[in-house]
Amino acid sequence: KDTNNPTWNQKFTFNLQNKTDYLHLHVYDDDAMGRDSIGSAKIDLKKHVFGKECYNAWVTLPSMLGLRSKGEIHVIIKHHTKN
């Protein structure tokens, strides 16, 4: 709260379908009067995640409407298959 360098340290678990190609990230700030979009990005799961041990990268949140980039988000993805 009230910082330009937030730390979320959130962990999410998703059950993915075989045909899932991308993970879409939409990042918003949290204001007292609503929320503003910081940016969005997508990660190609077939290229970077499936069959790999770990995806660990800083993902740039691209600029929108001619504005400069508003930052990046550190994403770590571990893919596990069910036995």
What token pair was written down for 11?
Answer: 């962990």
pLDDT digits (tens, 9 = 90+) for 13-45: 888 776 778 999 888 777 667 777 778 889 998
Q: What is the mean pLDDT of the chain?
A: 80
State residue 51's pLDDT score. 82
- For the chain, give the percent of residues with pLDDT over 90: 14
This prediction has a pTM of: 0.73
Distances (CA, A) of 2 to 5, 7, 26, 28, 62: 9, 11, 19, 13, 22
Q: Where are the alpha helices (DSSP H) in the chain?
A: 45-48
Q: Which residue has the tokens 């508003």?
A: 70
